[in-house]
Amino acid sequence: MRLQEKLDLNVISPEQSKPRKKFKTEKWIPYLFILPSTLMVVAFLFYPIGTVFYYSLQNYNLAAPFYDSFAGFDNFIKIFTEDKFFFPSLLTTLKWVVSQVGLQLIFGMIAAILLNKTFKFRGLVRAAAFIPWAISGVLASVMWSLMYNEHMGVINDMLMRLGIIHENQAWLANNSTAFISVVIAELWRGIPFFAITLLASLQSIPEELYEAARVDGAGRWKSFIFVTIPQLKNTIILTTLLRVIWEFNNVDLIFNLTGGGPAGSTTTLTMYIAKQAIHGSNFGYGSALTVISFGILLTFAIVYLKITRFEREEG
Amino acid sequence: MNGAQKRLDKLFTFNIPILIMLMFTVFPLYWTINTAFKHEGDILKRPLQYVPASPTIENFVSAWTNVGFATYFKNSLIVGICTVVIVIILSILSGYALARYRFKGKRAFLLMLLCTQFIPRSMLIIPLFIVFKHLGLISHPLSLILTYAAVEIPFTTVLMNGFISNVPRELEEAAMIDGCNRMQALRYVIFPLLVPGIVATSVFTFIYTWNEFLLALMLTNQQGRFTLPVGLSYMMGEFNINYGALAAGSVIALIPAVILFSYAQKHLVNGLGGAVKG
């Protein structure tokens, strides 16, 4: 090492190599380095979030500023007592999030286990199975709307050929099928996320644990329950939590496939907020809805982490 | 179990499930490509053509020239590239600070980054619209670039912190003893070793910007400024949908994301494994 040579030659002494003055200026460097990132995050994430709370207590209308005024809790009172879309949207949100996260977890787990085996063309099959993750919600909407289409859709065509249905169905416009149709399309895009994260953690489970289970006489199912699940516990808790937040907020497919209809049957709370934000005139009211949705998610996250006793691995 | 039983077992627990899975993921892609290559009249014709009878590229031509996909593509590209540049520079700096320094407020900074992951994105649409309205940046690419960068920086900072921590500290110290200052050491010693990590991070950031919809919808209201997702959505909402051009436009939008993703998906599994473990 050069340092050692220089020390040996007494060219510099250890004290000299770090002059006091330089040390003092160095102290500022980490703050200088994190400053731009911090500014960005504060200016475009934390500050806007803060203003939502402020606007929720206002009547705030960009188109008609002369009506702007302090509203107190009026917006909230109106939401809970007069708004006939609010409670149905909560129920739809619950159905949406539970079905999405539950089914994504189950199918993602199956996919991860399958893809963790060794087989020919594994790399290629993995890439193909993960592709929907990289595809935008809007693109997925286009793809599925082409397939669900009443007149030219391939799903009607296939089901008719199989004799399951006898006339064309308008899957996305029909009250009884719209919700499930959007759920399937979103599953297509959501399963790969679980498959990727679960596969990543599956790879880190030491093979010896499975061997030990086998020696103890555990079959495939038992080693899944007693080795795989406990080893994946933290990953599962964290991914499901992040996914709940994500699906709660995700409206790309709902927006583009059904627009929240028919008859509001696919309007989640976030979809309702998006509609308010885009078409509605009172940003104060939309902000109040946003604050409520934030409260719901925050409560959920805290309760969820408590009851699952999530432990952060150290190191 | 004898050989035949074993094969049967494998067929039902492995071959068939994986085939179903692949069919489910690949078919929608195939169907979109199939539709994109059909003549307009053929799309509605019964029986449906599972392979285009006479493939044509007219849909691609019309999507690119008449419907505006050239503009949407250009807008998405500008927003994506600018966001990636900002995100990479800022997250290298902040990742470096985290990896190489102990300083007061480090935990607070990390906690702040963690908090951002729990911010519901939909919470941002109204206040960000108001912020950019005041700044006069609605429909300006900067509104999307700044927003996307802010959304991505926390995660990429943590990633960069991981990549930089993997570079041995001695390399840098040696360079500094040889007369480099800290910035030069960062530029000439650390940076080249970070290239694979930077590429992976750029790919994920780019895909995010390429795909984001709700914020882009809220912050752009001129058709000339639409990004691809907003343009596609706008086209889906039209009264007379030109399905051929819509499918072709989708394929155009799909290509960059899929190419980048196939390149980076290996890093994804390994990188996430590291991130979850660490």
CATH of the domain at B186: 1.10.3720.10
State the pLDDT at residue A16.
47
Tell me, letter by letter, the H, E, C secondary structure of B41-82.
HHHHCCCCCCCCCCCCCHHHHHHHHCCCHHHHHHHHHHHHHH
Asked if A176 and B249 count as a contact pair (C-beta separation under 8 A), the reply is no
pLDDT in tens, A24-60: 567 888 999 999 999 999 999 999 999 999 999 988 8
State the pLDDT at residue B157.
94
Spatial distance between the Cα atoms of A260 and A266, rounded to a whole number of angstroms: 5
Residue reference for tokens 């085939």: B19
State the pLDDT at residue B173.
85
A51 and A173 co-located in one domain: no
Give A255's contacts in chain B (Cβ within 8 Å): 213-214, 233
Q: If pLDDT is split at 50, 70 and 90, which confidence band does B188 have?
A: confident
Q: If pLDDT is split at 50, 70 and 90, which confidence band does B273 have?
A: very low
Q: How many domains does chain A have?
A: 2
The partner residue sitting opposite B150, judged by closest CB among A40, A143, A283, is: A40
Give B269's contacts in chain A (Cβ within 8 Å): 126, 196, 199-200, 203
State the pLDDT at residue B11.
85
Spatial distance between the Cα atoms of B141 and B172, rounded to a whole number of angstroms: 38
Give the mean pLDDT of chain B. 88
Spatial distance between the Cα atoms of A53 and A55, rounded to a whole number of angstroms: 6
CATH code of the domain in which A143 resides: 1.10.3720.10
Q: Look up residue A26 and give its amino acid.
A: E
A115 and A263 co-located in one domain: yes
3-state secondary structure of A58: strand
Mark yes or no for CB contact B182/A29 under 8 Å: yes
Residue A64 lies in a domain: no
Spatial distance between the Cα atoms of A5 and A256, rounded to a whole number of angstroms: 68
Structure-token pair, residue A53? 């709370």
A169, A245, A135, A217: which is closest to B212 by C-alpha? A135
Residue A69 lies in a domain: no
Chain B residue at shortest CA distance from A256: B233
Residue A235 lies in a domain: yes
A92 and A49 co-located in one domain: no
Residue B235 lies in a domain: yes
State the pLDDT at residue B245.
92
Q: Does B142 touch chain A (CB under 8 A)?
A: no
Residue A314 lies in a domain: no
- What mean pLDDT is predicted for residues B50-77? 90
Residue A68 lies in a domain: no
Give chain A's length.
Answer: 315
Q: Does B96 touch chain A (CB under 8 A)?
A: yes
Contacts of A57 (CB under 8 A, 6+ apart): A70, A71, A72, A73, A75, A284, A288
Q: What's the burial of A159, exposed, middle or buried (CB within 10 Å: 0-12/13-18/19+)?
A: middle
Residue B257 lies in a domain: yes
| Range of the structural domain that residue B126 is part of | 68-277
A227 and A133 co-located in one domain: yes
Residue B160 lies in a domain: yes
All residue ranges of chain A with pLDDT < 50 are: 1, 6-22, 313-315
Is the pLDDT at B87 greater than 80, yes or no? yes
Q: What's the burial of A42, exposed, middle or buried (CB within 10 Å: 0-12/13-18/19+)?
A: middle
State the pLDDT at residue A25.
61
A122 and A240 co-located in one domain: yes
Residue B224 lies in a domain: yes
Q: How many domains does chain B have?
A: 1
State the pLDDT at residue B270.
60
Residue A77 lies in a domain: no
State the pLDDT at residue A1.
43
Spatial distance between the Cα atoms of B156 and A61, rounded to a whole number of angstroms: 36
pLDDT in tens, B117-140: 878 778 899 999 999 999 999 999
| Range of the structural domain that residue A228 is part of | 83-308
The sign of the torsion formed by the CA atoms of B184, B185, B188, B193 equals negative
Residue B239 lies in a domain: yes
The partner residue sitting opposite A52, judged by closest CB among B50, B127, B133, is: B127
Chain B interface test: which of A2, A29, A40 (most B C-beta within 10 Å)? A40
Give B116's contacts in chain A (Cβ within 8 Å): 41, 45
Residue A66 lies in a domain: no
ipTM of the prediction: 0.87
A33 and A88 co-located in one domain: no
Residue B170 lies in a domain: yes
Mark yes or no for CB contact B236/A52 under 8 Å: no
Mark yes or no for CB contact B128/A278 under 8 Å: no
Give A256's contacts in chain B (Cβ within 8 Å): 233, 236
A213 and A255 co-located in one domain: yes
